[in-house]
Amino acid sequence: MAWTTTDDLDEFRAAAGAFLRARPVRHTVLLTVVSSLEAAGSGRYGDRPPVYGWWRAPSGAVEGGFVRTPPHPPLLSAMPAEAADALARTLARADRPRITGVTGARPEAEAFADAWERHTGEARRADHVQRLYRLHTLTPSGPVRGRARTATTADRDLLLSWYEAFGRDTGALPENEVARAVDDRLGHHGALLWEVDGEPVATAAVSRTIADTVRVSLVYTPPELRGRGYAGAVTAAVSRAARTAGAERVLLFADLANPTSNALYQRIGYRPVEDHLRLTFTP
């Protein structure tokens, strides 16, 4: 079956929304991207309009989807290998804007990259490997001085500076998206601060709840305040708040190149689910 593409978010949600929500853990990034676009408009991730697509199996059921928010590469859902091959052929057509990579869970990202190499001759390079974790039993690592509170618009300048630093440290948040990321979190009361004597020392954020699922992100402690347990404390606090608010599934990603973060999240009760890749294509 062929892929259907559109620039209409409502059309995409009508066609593929139920498919994405049926697997909220695997599709956590896609779901939160779609939710952010719905809340903030098509310019949430850049000046060019997003492109959406879905693939129907011979039975007529939707079994694959993608979202592309230029200049970012396509973000893939779960899909059969034949759908990944068909998508690579579709996006490699001369009348399509050239893509420079792909992002998704390892099976789909690698299947797409295999097909892309066959159809274009371009090689892949793994730029970023992240491990997806799911919270089981929350077990804070120990008493840490301070307390958590929800960030407000009065904290916007602080969050701007910290998110900029987070982007420089990790490469996971482009500078031109910092303000949008801050406003998105503040807009749904999704950013927490850890304070000591009334002074913020760390932050963590959580996505909107979608299909009873949330994802923790943007965990940051300034360099001079690290090693005191603040990151673990604020991550545990935001995770607990999400569960208290009714989230059934609490997720987060950790860069596999950062053993400290991976160990920290496992200590407080997160367990590995699967790996996600960001691949870049080179002629």
pLDDT for the residue 42: 77
Cα separation, 125 vs 131, whole angstroms: 18
Residue 280: Cβ within 10 Å count: 16
Whether the per-residue pLDDT at 6 is higher than 80: the answer is yes
* Matching residue, tokens 């099976």: 107
- Could you tell me the pTM of the whole model? 0.94
Mean pLDDT value of segment 89-106: 90
Three-state helix/strand/coil letters over 187-211: HCCCEEEEEECCEEEEEEEECCCEC
Pick the CATH number of 134-273 from 3.40.50.300, 3.40.50.720, 3.40.630.30, 3.40.630.40: 3.40.630.30
Strand pairing category for 3-6 and 249-255: unpaired
Cα separation, 118 vs 18, whole angstroms: 32
As given in the structure block, the two tokens for residue 96 are: 């399509």
pLDDT for the residue 171: 87
Mean pLDDT value of segment 43-62: 90
**pLDDT level of residue 97 (50, 70, 90 thresholds):** confident
Q: Is 273 helix (H, G, I), strand (E, B) or coil?
A: strand
pLDDT for the residue 155: 98
162's CB contacts (< 8 A; 6+ apart) are: 203, 220, 222
pLDDT for the residue 40: 78
Mean pLDDT value of segment 94-98: 79
**pLDDT level of residue 275 (50, 70, 90 thresholds):** very high
89 burial via Cβ count (<10 Å: 0-12, 13-18, 19+): middle
pLDDT for the residue 95: 76
Mean pLDDT value of segment 30-48: 85
96 burial via Cβ count (<10 Å: 0-12, 13-18, 19+): exposed
Q: Is 71 helix (H, G, I), strand (E, B) or coil?
A: coil
Mean pLDDT value of segment 37-46: 81
Which DSSP helix (H) or strand (E) runs through 272?
strand 270-282
pLDDT for the residue 187: 94
Cα separation, 145 vs 202, whole angstroms: 12
Most confident by average pLDDT, 43-52, 147-156, 175-184: 147-156
Whether the per-residue pLDDT at 43 is higher than 90: the answer is no
Per DSSP, what are the bridge partners of residue 276? 105, 130
- Mean pLDDT, the chain, rounded, equals 94
Residue that wins the pLDDT comparison between 45 and 236: 236
Nearest to 65 by CA among 4, 127, 106, 146: 4
What would the pLDDT profile of 64-80 be if each residue is shown by its tens digit?
999 999 889 999 999 99
* Matching residue, tokens 């965990």: 219
The domains of the chain are located at 3-121, 134-273
Three-state helix/strand/coil letters over 159-175: HHHHHHHHHHHHCCCCH
Nearest to 231 by CA among 154, 102, 223: 223
